């Protein structure tokens, strides 16, 4: 019965405090409250779920429908760490959870899974209603400042400093991207003072700088480059390919296909100072056919017209070709075809962390046990983006946050109950 009723000990309710009101924190609150514990959630912003809402403006990508082995491979070197959490809350369970909240989902043509109305707000509203019904108490505009000498949590609030006693704590404070929405990484200093190992925060799912000419930047910044394939060599010489789209920016490139390989681009730049990303501007045409098409007599047509008619290369794609190719190659169909199929773009730096969609780095996985508890701080758990794992867009990032939040919340409840009801 203790999991069905609020647990009382030493004349007070047992309290679990969740710090951070993003997806990981909200899921931790849900699972902890379901164990019959008093749950209080604190967030520095005026409302919770702000990054969640903004991420869903163009259509909330909840998760992905691909087979679980492929799904887990998206987490790269951190797969062994995050796999238990995701296997306990896989995409199928996530869809069932959304359905329980009254939100149906569908699989898009890319395999991505979205709410039927594509919106984040209805799901968040239903979720918050469930949490409030379960007794979760929300405290907004409360910024966490660490612990006092008695081990109580310290917050600054509109009413001044607050000390909060907790029997267990789940930290779900996010990374360092989009700091205006609350993830400002101020927690790194607090945990560093506790000697918790923290991997440096780095931008993930981000754009990259390129040395565009003024003419190209002025003419094509903001233009989408549709249906291309990118190819690159990783730092361990593995060749990766990714089909998709990107956008030319004032400073370089960004967009889905760039985000999919951003981890590898970032690693190459860290190691060598730059990264070469090759673009196939005509992925639906083999090189031999493209060469034949471009070898047709041009007559009085301009090269621009010839490229458009014979190769389907126009607009921003033609601009990219002119930006990279030297003028003396422009009349050679063999070299033009080769450039269209493998156009090298030199990328010099990732965009700043504040601009990135998500964050790599954070609390070192080795600092946590299998239940996501900080080994040197018993009763303190970590979840979500503040832990050192990363994932591409496509539903993988959100699934990882929800799954680790669920694991940390479940573990916090189990830890409290084991501590309360163990012999002696």
Domains and their CATH numbers in the chain: 8-202+359-421 (3.50.50.60), 208-350 (no CATH)
Of the ranges 6-10, 209-213, 349-353, 418-422, which one carries the lowest mean pLDDT score? 6-10
> What pLDDT is recorded for position 325?
86
CA angle 145, 43, 87 (to 5 degrees): 105
Residue 327: its pLDDT value, please?
66
Where do we find the tokens 């951070």? Answer: 20
* Residues sharing a CB contact under 8 Å with residue 294, sequence separation 6 or more, in sequence order: 306, 307, 310, 311, 333, 336, 337
Q: In Å, how far from its chain's centre is CA 195?
A: 26
Which pLDDT score is estimated for 6? 38
Query: Exposed/middle/buried for 424, CB within 10 Å: 0-12, 13-18, 19+?
Result: exposed
Q: What number of other Cβ atoms are within 10 A of residue 59's Cβ? A: 14
Residues 320/277, Cβ–Cβ less than 8 Å: no
Q: Is 123 left (phi over 0), alpha (psi -120 to 50) or beta?
A: alpha
Question: For residue 406, which of 23, 120, 17, 96 has the smallest C-alpha distance?
Answer: 23
Residue 12: predicted pLDDT: 53
Q: Which of 125, 153, 129, 115 is nearest to 20 (CA)?
A: 153
> What band does 3 get if pLDDT is binned at 50, 70 and 90?
very low
Q: What mean pLDDT comes out for the span 210-218?
A: 96
Q: Which residue has the higher pLDDT, 31 or 183?
A: 31
* 5: confidence class by pLDDT, cuts 50, 70, 90: very low
The whole-number average pLDDT for the span 228-245 is 94
Residue 424 has pLDDT above 60, yes or no: no
If one compares 423 and 119, the residue with the highest pLDDT of the two is: 119
Q: Where do the H-state alpha helices sit in 221-314? A: 256-260, 262-272, 287-294, 303-311
pLDDT tens, 85-98?
999 999 999 999 99
Pair type for strands 137-139 and 38-42: parallel
Task: Say how far apart CA 196 and CA 171 lie, in whole Å.
Answer: 13
Q: Are 377 and 130 in contact (CB under 8 A)?
A: no
Beta strands (DSSP E) in 281-357 are 343-350
Q: Using the 8-state DSSP alphabet, how is residue 351 labeled? A: P
Residues in contact with 69: Cβ distance below 8 Å, sequence separation at least 6, in sequence order = none
pTM of the shown model: 0.91
């Amino acid at each position: 019965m203790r999991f069905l009723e609020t647990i009382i000990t030493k004349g007070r309710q047992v309290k679990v405090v969740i710090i951070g009101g993003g997806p990981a924190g909200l899921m931790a609150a849900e699972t902890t409250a379901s164990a019959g514990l008093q749950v209080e959630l604190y967030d520095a912003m005026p409302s919770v779920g702000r990054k969640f809402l903004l991420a869903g403006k163009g259509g909330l990508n909840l998760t992905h429908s691909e087979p679980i082995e492929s799904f887990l491979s998206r987490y790269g070197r951190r797969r062994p760490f995050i796999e238990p959490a995701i296997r306990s809350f896989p995409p199928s369970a996530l869809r069932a959870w959304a359905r329980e909240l009254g939100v149906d989902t569908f699989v898009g043509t890319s395999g991505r899974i979205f709410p039927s109305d594509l919106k984040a707000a209805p799901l968040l509203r239903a979720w918050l209603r469930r949490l409030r019904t379960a007794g979760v108490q929300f405290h907004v505009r409360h910024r966490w400042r660490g612990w006092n000498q008695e081990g109580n949590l310290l917050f600054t609030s509109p009413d001044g400093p607050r000390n909060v006693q907790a029997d267990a704590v789940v930290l779900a404070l996010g990374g360092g991207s989009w700091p205006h929405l609350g993830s400002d990484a101020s927690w790194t200093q607090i945990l560093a003072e506790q000697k918790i190992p923290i991997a440096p925060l780095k931008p993930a799912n981000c754009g990259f700088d390129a040395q565009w000419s003024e003419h190209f930047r002025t003419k094509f910044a903001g233009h989408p480059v549709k249906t291309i394939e990118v190819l690159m060599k990783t730092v361990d010489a593995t060749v990766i390919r990714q089909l998709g789209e990107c956008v030319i920016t004032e400073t370089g490139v960004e967009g889905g296909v760039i985000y999919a390989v951003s981890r590898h681009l970032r690693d190459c730049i860290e190691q060598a100072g730059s990264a070469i990303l090759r673009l196939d501007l005509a992925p639906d045409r083999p090189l031999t056919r493209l060469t034949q098409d471009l070898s047709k007599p041009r007559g009085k047509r301009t090269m621009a017209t010839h490229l458009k008619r014979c190769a389907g290369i126009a607009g921003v794609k033609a601009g990219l070709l002119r930006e990279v190719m030297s003028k003396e190659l422009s009349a050679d169909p063999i070299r033009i075809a080769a450039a269209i199929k493998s156009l090298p773009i030199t990328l010099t730096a990732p965009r700043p962390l504040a601009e990135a969609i998500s964050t790599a780095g954070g609390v070192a996985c080795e600092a946590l046990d299998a239940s996501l508890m900080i080994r040197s701080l018993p009763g303190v758990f970590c979840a979500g983006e503040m832990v050192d794992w990363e994932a591409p867009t496509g539903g993988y990032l959100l699934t990882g946050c929800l799954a680790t939040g669920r694991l940390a919340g479940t573990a916090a409840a189990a830890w409290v109950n084991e501590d309360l009801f163990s012999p002696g």
